[in-house]
Chain A
């Protein structure tokens, strides 16, 4: 019941993408990760800090008229690795997707180490962070091999 009530806090969408089970308070970071925070071309609804049986509290995002791609959604691994995603078509769930962390986060964020070679943004090779552990999430820069501070990393979105 609580889950159903949460979903109705904002109206059902006809077509688009619903991202559920985002850790409470992280929805704004998710929008930033998806480059949606400054995008005024599509309607976006946000529900924050609603009760969740599984997580205690959670955030939900609904993006209308846009189906996010798997590679866009994989960017969520940094803040919401356990979120569940539904592609909606004609008010029904057409596809369910999961976030795939993979072995490497490529061209999503810049290494946090101030003396890494990738600090020169004119260098053309991709920014690459290797996943060395998934629980807790631990990343190292492919180039300088420095471990990354996740809180700091979120400010280094490309």
Chain B
């Protein structure tokens, strides 16, 4: 494995092994221990699109492990605005850094960059394509809560059409035999080509517009934000988006161990009353972005994570 462009670059064994590395790195991610495994290494952060969590968590992950980070900075003031090709930008950053984390508005940009680069590329989102580092932190969060990735029933809700997070995650969950329920308005359904692809891989997939009626079956409810601008007018948005909001009172019949996740930022789709419930996991999930990315940075840079860290067991 050179870089991580889609989840297909990882076998199930790779995934388990990276999640296990991440588990051991937790005290380092929390700042309880300093473990400079990546001292002397430089990460190039190339975000051609706005990002808060992904960019910051890559930066935190690198620094917690003693490494350093250089940033592309604002695209509006970089050479990109002068018409530089992605190929040329990558040639430059490839020479400055040991590994690159990248987000780009065009689909396929990460694969393109990997073909152009000597150093590994971590895809932090390419158009509506893939977002595998988000998937790894999502899988870490699910495994942390349920002790397994296998055979779970997972509802993915909201904007399934444009959300690259749910595309990558669906493919990964199917590899672990999870049952998927896609709950979305008609306009924002999971793209047909993805549903067909998942079914060809033997997935048990149900498509529905009913989120609340299916909650009691779920082990995981993965919420996403529905954006106003996807709809022709505000009334239509209000009517549709209302059906994809969670309130604490909707969770009365949920399984006790069911968890609610969200890639954040949220707007109205999860009411603050849910935050204090036993089901809420979205803030832990955001923190897990650091530890999952620490494990991935080590793996792609060929640095082994010690079997024992700070007296903790492997």
Contact = CB atoms under 8 A, between A and B. Distances in A.
Contacts of A117: 86, 104, 106-109, 111-112, 126
B85 A144 contact: no
Interface size of B as a range: 20 to 34
A120 to B, nearest CB: 7
Interface stretch (A41-49, A58-66, A74-82, A121-129): A121-129
Contact of A116 (B85, B107, B115, B193): B107
A146 interface: yes
B108 A125 contact: no
A113 B111 CA distance: 15
A143 interface: yes
B85 A141 contact: no
B116 interface: yes
A141 B108 contact: yes
A15 to B, nearest CB: 41
Contacts of A143: 107-109, 111-112
B263 interface: no
Interface in B156-210: 193
A145 B85 contact: no
A25 interface: no
B220 to A, nearest CB: 26
Given A118-B108, A125-B112, A145 B129 contact: yes
B193 A144 contact: no
A115 B128 contact: yes
A124 B87 contact: yes
A89 interface: no
B67 interface: no
Nearest to A144: B108
Given A117-B104, A125-B112, A144 B127 contact: yes
Contacts of B129: 144-145
Contact of A144 (B86, B107, B116): B107
Contact of B85 (A115, A124, A142, A147): A124
A146 B104 CA distance: 17
B11 to A, nearest CB: 19
Interface in B72-128: 83, 85-87, 104-109, 111-112, 115-116, 126-128
B134 interface: no
A134 B193 CA distance: 18
Nearest to B111: A143
Nearest to B197: A147
Nearest to A118: B108
A118 B111 CA distance: 11
A119 interface: yes
B111 A142 contact: yes
B60 interface: no
B224 interface: no
B6 interface: yes
A146 B87 CA distance: 21
B106 A145 contact: no
A40 to B, nearest CB: 34
A123 B107 contact: no
A143 B109 CA distance: 7
A130 to B, nearest CB: 11
B108 A123 contact: no
Contact of A123 (B6, B85, B126): B85
Nearest to A141: B108
A120 B104 CA distance: 13
Contacts of A118: 108, 112
A149 to B, nearest CB: 11
Contacts of B127: 115, 144
16 contacts: A115-B105, A116-B107, A117-B109, A117-B126, A120-B85, A120-B86, A123-B87, A125-B112, A141-B108, A142-B108, A143-B109, A144-B108, A144-B126, A145-B6, A145-B129, A146-B193
Given A117-B108, A125-B112, A125-B116, 14 more contacts: A115-B107, A115-B127, A116-B106, A117-B111, A120-B85, A125-B87, A142-B108, A143-B111, A144-B106, A144-B107, A144-B108, A144-B129, A145-B6, A146-B193
Interface of B: 6, 83, 85-87, 104-109, 111-112, 115-116, 126-129, 193
List 9 A-B pairs, minimum CB-CB distance, nearest first: A143-B108, A144-B108, A144-B107, A117-B106, A117-B108, A117-B109, A117-B112, A143-B111, A143-B112
